[in-house]
Amino acid sequence: MTPLLLSRLQFAMTIGFHFIFPPITIGLAWLLVIVESLGWRRNDQTYVRIGKFFARILALNFAVGVATGVVMEFQFGTNWAEYSKFVGDIFGAPLAAEGVFAFFLESTFLGLYLFGRGRVSSGIHWFSALMVAVGATISAFWILVASSWMQTPAGFRVQGGRAELTDFWEAVFNPSTFPRFCHTMDAALIAGAFIMAGVSAYLILKNKEAETAKRSMALAVTFGVIVSLLEVFPFGHIHGQQVARTQPEKFAAIQGLYTTQKGAPVVFFAYPTTPPPLLKAAVEIPGLLSWLAFGDLDATVKGINDFAPDQIPPLWPTFVSYHNMVLLGIYFIVIMGFAFIQLRRGRLWENRKLLKAFVWSMPLPIVACQLGWIAAEVGRQPWIVYHVMRTSDAVSKVVSGAEVAFSILLFGLVYILLGSLFVYFFVKEMKHGPEPALTARPAQGGKEASL
């Protein structure tokens, strides 16, 4: 394998693994802000205990997220040196801004949030939870600025063999920043809602601190139904329209539109094959894609046949990942919506099948995030910066295939270890559940001594 392919593999592996954790951090952090608000303002001990419990899960998740995130900050330089030299004038700034405005904020206040209970007033403790959530959100913003600039570069000119900044704000708010930020941020909120709902459902099923878990479940479901709906409309819709407008090759690839046509159909199900690109067993609604993309049933949508073969992304992975992401998005609305109705009718706690479904649905928003990310980034190929720099020109020249193979092996092994430990401890925390209410605690300090 070539250093290029290996470096791509390593990047996919390291960012794919890292990207499991930040969405959970963001979603859970905002839910904890709500929980801590309720605990603090109403002086409600149940919410305080819910806060303590989910803070432990947040801490576990954050630790693995931070550890794997360090790699990302350096990997552009190590494996993509030619890219780094070419885009450094633009691409480094959002990474640095993320450090200054986000990483310091979330990690400093996470320390205060986790260890400061009792050392600071309830108000400051609540504020520290808020700063963790704000920091995580700002972090998502700047990294999406960087990533979106690669999708729809703006505010620059190519001069002297590199991309030079001409307008900072144009580069920051390039055409895809806003749609991608909303879509990804909301996906993170969904991930948090499903983690809280799944863990609570488990506790209710096992009748462990069930009364407490019902409160967190009710919160997660109410929150979850709102963010799941928002994800498809308006955020998914806005993002889709933006891709249709700014990256027609990618739009054609993810939608499976292989020939240019008026009144293009939305494909619900199909099996894509190449060459030539064909959809087998397609289930589709004519005209809907033209309408969704351009607001007109008769609009012409460009198909793959309109582009040169060396300009189009791989068709199979983009189509499959995008369609499965959409499927999951619809599933989130259905299960959250159904649970919300059951909750309003007071029947949710008895519906054990639904609760079980929530337990097993916990990883699905993360799967959807990964699929969406694959559709977005593979859909950008063969470009590393859309229509400006090819991925094949971006890889480090001085790093050999053997060196990259070694680092893949190194990170592969570490990530298998971290992944298994994360799942193991997540389940352990979940089974442990929140601490019992104070009145039910046998002897103060007995627990501490045993640890």
Q: What tokens appear for 80 in the block?
A: 């993509």
Q: Give the list of residues 6+ apart from residue 352 with CB closer than 8 angstroms, or none.
A: 205
Among 344, 428, 431, 441, binds another protein (CB under 8 A): 428
- Is the CB of residue 54 less than 8 Å from the CB of residue 10? no
93 lies in the binding site for another protein (CB under 8 A): yes
Burial string for 303-312 (b: 16+ CB within 10 Å, else e) reads bbebbeeeeb
Decide whether 308 or 451 has the Cβ nearer to another protein. Answer: 451
**Smallest distance, Å, CB 436 to another protein?**
13
259 touching another protein, by CB under 8 A: no
State which of residues 9, 37, 84, 122 lies at the interface with another protein (CB under 8 A): 84
Residue 13 in contact with another protein, rule: CB under 8 A:
no
The vertex-8 CA angle with 391 and 267, nearest 5°, equals 80
Task: Please state, in angstroms and rounded to a whole number, the distance separating the CA atoms of residues 318 and 45.
Answer: 48
Residue 377, token pair as written in the block: 């980034």
Burial label, 119 (beta-carbon count in 10 A; 0-12, 13-18, 19+): exposed
Instruction: Please select the residue that binds another protein; options are 43, 45, 104, 311, rule is CB under 8 A.
Output: 104
Instruction: For the CB of residue 29, give the shortest distance to another protein in the complex, in Å.
Output: 15
CB of residue 369 to another protein, shortest distance in Å: 21
Return d(Cα 87, Cα 209) in angstroms, integer: 53
Instruction: Please give the Cα distance from 432 to 141 (Å, whole number).
Output: 34
The one segment of 19-27, 104-112, 192-200, 296-304 that binds another protein by CB under 8 A: 104-112
Q: What is the C-alpha to C-alpha distance for residues 312 and 215, in angstroms, rounded to an integer?
A: 49
Smallest CA-to-CA distance from 328 within 236, 220, 241 is with 236
User: Which of the residues 115 through 144 are near another protein (CB under 8 A)?
Assistant: 115-117, 119-120
The site string for another protein over 144-183 (x = CB under 8 A, - otherwise) reads: --------------------xxx-x---------------
Applying CB under 8 A, the span of 89-97, 213-221, 310-318, 353-361 interacting with another protein comes to 89-97
One of 396, 430, 433, 434 touching another protein (CB under 8 A): 396
Q: Rounded to the nearest whole angstrom, what is the least distance from the CB of residue 198 to another protein in the complex?
A: 20
| Candidates 94-102, 244-252, 274-282, 367-375; binding stretch for another protein (CB under 8 A) | 94-102
Residues 185-207 as b or e (16 or more Cβ within 10 Å = b): bbbbbbbbbbbbbbbbbbbbbee
Residues that bind another protein (CB under 8 A): 59-60, 63-64, 66-71, 73-74, 76-79, 81-82, 84-85, 87-93, 95-101, 103-105, 107-112, 114-117, 119-120, 164-166, 168, 396-399, 403, 406-407, 410-411, 414, 418, 421, 425, 428, 447-448, 451
